[in-house]
């Protein structure tokens, strides 16, 4: 085993690096998905499209900044601005639509988000075209960090090593603090736990839902924006992202943001190791992890089993 590790140091290093940055992006999507499920009780299939549109918007704005010869560091606030913009523009109307169908059966609500997914996929193609979009300015700007791995020295891009995981960690810590320590955060938790009781306590559940949905949408867009410099954008990235985020959410169990983080890491690393060592299994690994986990723990790694009162 140690011999194998030494022989494959380069690949392992790359797999870890890719896995980390991938996990960071997936976490941003999955955590928003989880928050939204909490307040609306619907798994938003269109959430992956928000990731894709976030990525495209960030790339478009970033390329604009670069083409106008503006200072290079501006691309970073641009990534953030693009995500907030996507969240604000797309979040509230989608939330409105979902609240309109709140009283319908869960299946119909799910199908509303599927319809939105279909609409957003084509909207994205109409706005940004079907040619791959490459925007690696942020990656190039920060350069690389040489890290010794066995006999090899691997140049890691500083962006993937620090920026992506860093922002994911800040998001995790920020959300944990926000949900537990602030009034608004506690309102979100209250609405998630028991919507009716929260309403009875005078919490404006509609407002809380709108806020949560918009924030969740912006997080997904931010995930896409942050990942956009690391891979070229192609149609279908939204469809890929959403199924992976579903796998994260189902594996983690519902309602746990720390759980979503750990599971994103597990699935992100699992997938990137597959990419480097068994490329045939790349798409399969996340689902194998999910199926294995649910076989042992039907409520997910961090979920709490529900007991029905009769």
Task: Please report, as ranges, the residues that interact with another protein according to CB under 8 A.
Answer: 37, 43, 45, 97, 100-101, 104-108, 110-112, 114-119, 121-123, 125-126, 239, 243, 246-247, 249-250, 254, 279-284, 287-288, 290-291, 294-295, 298, 300, 308, 310
Q: Which residue number, 119 or 170, has a Cβ lying nearer to another protein?
A: 119
> For another protein, which is the closer residue by CB, 129 or 174?
129
Nearest distance, CB of residue 116 and another protein, angstroms:
7
The distance of closest approach from Cβ of residue 93 to another protein in the complex, given in angstroms and rounded to an integer, is: 12
Residue 146: strand pairing partners: 155
User: What Rg, from alpha-carbon coordinates, does the chain have?
Assistant: 20
| Sign of the dihedral defined by the CA atoms of residues 40, 43, 45, 49, in that order | positive
Give the nearest distance from C-beta 217 to another protein in angstroms.
Answer: 18
What CA–CA distance (Å, rounded) separates 1 from 15?
A: 17
Nearer to another protein, 120 or 168 (CB): 120
Contact 127, 235 (CB under 8 A): no
At 121, phi and psi to the nearest 5?
Answer: -60, -45
CB of 237 to another protein, least distance (A): 13
Least CB distance to another protein at residue 29 (A):
15
Instruction: Look at residues 96, 100, 102 and name the one whose alpha carbon lies nearest to residue 40.
Output: 102
**Residue 35 CB burial class (10 angstroms; 0-12, 13-18, ≥19):** buried
Measured from the CB atom, is 159 or 271 closer to another protein?
A: 271
């Amino acid at each position: 085993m140690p011999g194998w590790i030494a022989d494959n140091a380069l690949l392992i290093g790359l797999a870890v690096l890719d896995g980390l940055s991938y996990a960071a992006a997936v976490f941003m999507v999955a955590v928003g998905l989880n928050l939204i499920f909490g307040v609306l009780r619907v798994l938003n299939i269109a959430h992956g499209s928000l990731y894709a549109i976030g990525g495209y918007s960030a790339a478009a704005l970033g390329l604009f900044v670069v083409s106008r010869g503006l200072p290079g560091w501006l691309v970073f606030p641009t990534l953030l601005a693009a995500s907030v913009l996507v969240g604000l523009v797309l979040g509230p109307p989608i939330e409105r639509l979902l609240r309109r169908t709140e009283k319908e059966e869960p299946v119909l609500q799910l199908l509303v988000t599927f319809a939105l997914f279909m609409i957003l996929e084509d909207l994205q193609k109409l706005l940004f075209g079907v040619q791959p979009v490459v925007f690696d300015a942020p990656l190039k700007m920060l350069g690389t960090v040489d890290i010794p791995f066995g006999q090899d020295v691997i140049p890691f891009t500083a962006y993937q090593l620090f920026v992506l995981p860093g922002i994911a960690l800040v998001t995790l810590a920020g959300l944990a603090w926000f949900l537990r320590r602030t009034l608004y955060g506690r309102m979100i938790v209250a609405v998630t736990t028991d919507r009716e009781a929260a309403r009875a306590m005078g919490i404006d559940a509609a407002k809380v839902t709108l806020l949560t949905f918009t924030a969740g949408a912006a997080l997904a867009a931010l995930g896409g924006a942050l990942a956009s410099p690391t891979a070229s954008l192609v149609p279908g990235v939204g469809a890929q992202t959403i199924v992976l985020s579903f796998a994260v959410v189902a594996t983690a169990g519902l309602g746990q943001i720390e759980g979503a983080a750990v599971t994103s890491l597990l699935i992100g690393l699992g997938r990137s190791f597959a990419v480097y060592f068994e490329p045939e299994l790349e798409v399969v690994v996340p689902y194998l992890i999910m199926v294995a986990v649910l076989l042992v723990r039907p409520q997910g790694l961090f979920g709490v089993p529900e007991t029905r009162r009769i």
